[in-house]
Amino acid sequence: MRIKICGVTNVEDALFIEEAGADAIGVVISKESKRNISIDKADEIFSALGPFIIKVVVTHTTSYEKLNEIISLNPDAIQISTNCKIPDTFRGRLIRVIGSESEIPDDCDALIVDESHGNGKAYNAEYAKKIVKKSHMPVILAGGLNSSNVSEAITSVRPYAVDVCSGVEDKVGIKNRFEVLEFIRACGRLPGIKIKKGYFKD
């Protein structure tokens, strides 16, 4: 199962998540979010990562100017919850967020079923299963996932990938490293990390 860990706000968490074996890291650039970071901070995080992890910018913007700033980071993917058209200069993948009232869009590379937006609201299982069956694109599942329920969600919904944010946090924007590892294990993966001094604080 492919794993994205979202709402990353600092380099230290990003490097831990990468070494732990997640497939993708998400940063949020959107003033409406409690995990909003600047373009400069996002660039710092992405620059610290290796070439084999997918770098995703999550945004709720409708601003063409802001989208151009995001594109300047050269993310592998942009995940957007509005219907805003993405500038033609973007060469990465586009992930559109949908919820239970949404039609399936056809101008993107993947869908993420997410009505939580990092707030821990549980996903709608029946709706998610319906979208997985209907969509010709990969479907990512998000919303209230954590190490105790993600295995059941994977078995029930059978998504292309799962996405977690608040479910692996100590507080908003700060990841709990034990929970990151437990989440990866619960997805049926062995974390790739070698425990080093300083990874875990008392």
Between strands 174-175 and 169-171, the pairing is antiparallel
**114 part of the active site:** yes
Q: Residues, the chain, total?
A: 202
**84 part of the active site:** no
Any bridge partners for residue 25, and if so which? 5, 55
Contacts of 161 (CB under 8 A, 6+ apart): 1, 2, 3, 4, 23, 24, 138, 140, 141
Give 86's DSSP letter.
Answer: P
The active-site residue, picked from 13, 114, 163, 165, is 114
pLDDT 10s per residue in the chain (202 long)?
999 999 999 999 999 999 999 999 999 999 999 999 999 999 999 999 999 999 999 999 999 999 999 999 999 999 999 999 999 999 999 999 998 878 899 999 999 999 876 677 899 999 999 999 999 999 999 999 999 999 999 999 999 999 999 999 999 999 999 999 999 999 999 988 755 545 555 4
The active-site residue, picked from 6, 108, 165, 187, is 6
The rounded distance, in Å, linking the Cα atoms of 169 and 109 is 28
Tell me the whole-structure pTM to 2 decimals: 0.93
Q: Which domains are seen in the chain, by residue range?
A: 2-186 (3.20.20.70)
The alpha helices in 10-149, defined as continuous H runs, are 11-20, 39-48, 64-71, 125-134
